[in-house]
Structure 1
Amino acid sequence: MRKLILLEIEATSGVFLPGIAAAILSLGAVLALSTWVQVARHDDDGAMPSPGGAARGKSDRD
């Protein structure tokens, strides 16, 4: 599903544009977190990985 937002520059307020930006960023964060949780649930060893790194107990030396 794709949505297109058309804004008239003269008709929008200064508070509206940061509000739209915050809403888009928060929706992106929710999508990223839900994907991270879904991947973590399908992990074989059950350990929850950190969002920016490898899961604890796993390394290249093992």
Structure 2
Amino acid sequence: MILIITILFSLLYLFQINKMTYALCESKEIPEEKQQKIYTTVNVLVTILIVSFYVEILLQV
């Protein structure tokens, strides 16, 4: 049950972070070549955050 909740939360959170990253790239007028690197970095960091959150919750239960 906690796995399903974590996955749903993770998808929504990742989608929201990507929307905010897109808004940042648009407002700062970042070139297309650099945008892919920014998206990759942000998504990897958020994924690490989500996995560490899941592991912490799993160890507490």
Give the TM-score normalised by the residue count of structure 2.
0.49
Higher relative contact order (CA 8 A, sep 6+): 2
